[in-house]
Structure 1
Amino acid sequence: MPQAALEGLNQYQDEVDGAADYAARVATAKSAFSNRNRRTNAIFRDVRAALAKMAGDAVRCAYCEDSAADEVEHVKPKDLYPQSVFRWPNYVYACGPCNGRKRNKFSVIDAGGTMVDITRARGAPVVAPVEGLPALIDPRSEDPMQFFDMDLQGTFVVLEALDLNPVDEARATFTIELLGLNRDLLLTTRRDAYLGYRARLSEYSARAEQGAEEAELDAIRSSLLRSPHPTVWEEMKRQAHLIEELRMLFAAVPAAIEWRHFPNAFAY
């Protein structure tokens, strides 16, 4: 993010933080974000450009990885956390269906380890939520692959990783359910992504063996890394030692283990 854009966001946040009380800060946050989150606003053009770059060449949703991302989404909802409405680390790029599904639904885990739903019902008093660890895994500050596994040999569902502590397991379950990470469409597109990655890697291996020039091999690699569902690719690398066809493919192209969609991938 350009420094000028960060400074502009901080100025917007100061306006929100200066409101009289929590309810006023919520109201100010909602109206201010609606007014500033426009393509005519130079600061938010920079925000969108930076988020798009972080979302990889295919600019895919940070949540479902399938649809094109085009909405600035708050990890912590602005309805609940007005103090984060213009904070750069609170932004990801998301698609409309995922953003609409999440909306202002949110839970935290309190000091006793209990999951508390802090979603504010329509017409409820506008009071600050209870404090606690956000239940939603934050792809800006956490690695989702530490919390999830993916079944690559059948269903292509996202599962809670093995051997998580109870709090992290609860957070993984909450995230899967809130974002609908196992809806039917995603299972189909993950399977298609797996087949596509496998085919591209096989093509790369065959053409390299046939003595193809570097420009052709780079084109195949670039095409692979522009594909949706980067987590499928990361899981293929992680599970290569468990799946014979993948073990053989990565043995043929060992450099592919280091291929990543983008340097700081954040996606479920």
Structure 2
Amino acid sequence: MIQVPAKALPAAAQTELQRYQQEVDAEPDYAARVGLAKDRFSGRNRKDNPVFQEIRGALTEMCSGANRCMYCEDSCADEVEHIKPKNFYPEAVFVWENYLYACGICNGGKNDSYAVFDDATAQILPVSRKHGDPVVPPPAGRDVFLNPRQEAPTRFLILDLRGTFAFLPYPDLHASDQQRAKYTIDVLNLNRDVLLRARRNAYGNYRNLLELYALKEEQGKPDDELEALKETRRLSPHPSVWFEMTRLWDKIPELTALFQRVPEALTWQLER
């Protein structure tokens, strides 16, 4: 999981989205606002709604690879996901910065999972509501879940490229940041078996692509052949694997040898 590039909505779509949000915010009762938020989002998140056509188009442009899920980076992104769940935060149901493009597995798995750090004790407080519980506002506190629209998950997570290909909390993090990393990994189930296998495969593909690029460059092949390989890299799934390869290139001998042949590849991660 990497940070999502910033992108503004077209002005007309943003204005209409704000109008949607104002309709929800105008309801004075919190429980009624929650119900209204769910109802209005369900009615407006349609493929024939021009506003959400713009939203889906913008989110698609922000996706890595060929429209990959912003969480797992493996499956096709086709669901507008609320980072802060609308069932608890109706004030963010129509907020552009609260949207991600996710696959059904990640969106359904995360569902309404959320948590905050208690301001007084710094303990994690799950934001939850059982069936039949009163509909009251969630506790105040700092968000636990990593928000890739606002921060770089790679500051908190590292991939085990030399072993399991699992996401782990980045070494030497502050205790609360370690908790944030672990919570996000667990909520999204980022280390499910299929993703470990896919990341291992992505590593091999990226390594082979870099080897081929080095050979073509050394042989003086035309620029269009080199650019085609760079485009293949850009459209490949699991950009976190490539990011980690560039972060650990001088720690893994086979990567050291490759990146020494193609040092400019260390900057490719920045190219969308």
Q: 2:182 aligns with which of 173, 192, 195?
A: 173
CA distance in 2, matches of 1:238, 1:53: 25
Task: Structure 1: state its 5+ residue gaps.
Answer: 264-268
Does the Cα contact within 8 Å between 1:78 and 1:85 map onto a contact in 2?
A: yes
Q: Of the candidates 206, 215, 220, which is equivalent to residue 206 of structure 1?
A: 215
1:98-137 alignment, distance < 5 Å: 98-111=106-119, 112-137=121-146
Question: 1:57 offset after TM fit, Å?
Answer: 4.1
The answer to whether the 8 A contact 1:56-1:262 is kept is no
Residue 58 of structure 2 is aligned to residue 72 of structure 1: no
Residues in 2 aligned to 1:80 and 1:41: alpha-carbon distance in whole angstroms: 25
Q: 1:35 matched to which residue of 2?
A: 43
Gaps of 5+ in 2: 1-8
Q: Is the 8 A contact 1:149 1:161 kept in 2?
A: yes
Please state how far the C-alpha of 1:173 moved relative to its aligned partner: 0.8
* Conserved 8 A contact 1:160-1:173: yes
* Cα pair distance change 1:43/1:86, threshold 3 Å: same
Residue 252 (structure 1) aligns with? 261
1:118 Cα offset (Å): 1.2
Using the size of structure 2 for normalisation, the TM-score is 0.95
Q: Which amino acid aligns with 1:237?
A: T
Q: Which runs of 4 or more aligned residues in structure 1 lie more than 6 Å from their structure 2 counterparts after TM superposition?
A: none
Separation (CA, whole Å) in 1 of partners of 2:90 and 2:213: 49
Distance 2:91 2:142 in 1: 16
Structure 2: distance between partners of 1:17 and 1:64: 32
Shift of 1:72: 0.4
2:3 paired residue number: none
Instruction: Work out the number of aligned pairs and report it.
Output: 263
Question: Does residue 81 of structure 1 match 2:79?
Answer: no
Question: 1:261 Cα shift?
Answer: 6.4
The question of whether the paired residues in 1 share the 8 Å contact of 2:156 and 2:181 is answered with yes
Match of 2:31? 23
**Percent pairwise identity:** 48
Which residue pairs with 1:217 in the alignment?
226
Which amino acid letter does the alignment assign opposite residue 37 of structure 1? N
1:151 is matched with which residue? Answer: 160
CA RMSD of aligned residues (A): 0.9
CA distance in 2: counterparts of 1:261 and 1:122, whole angstroms: 45
Give the secondary-structure state (helix, strand or coil) at the position aligned to 1:4. Answer: helix
1:46 and 2:59 correspond: no
State how far apart, in whole Å, the 1-side matches of 2:10 and 2:65 are.
20
Cα deviation, residue 260, structure 1: 2.2
For 1:172 and 1:148, how far apart are their aligned partners in 2?
6
Q: Which aligned pairs between 1:7-18 and structure 2 lie closer than 5 A?
A: 7-18=15-26
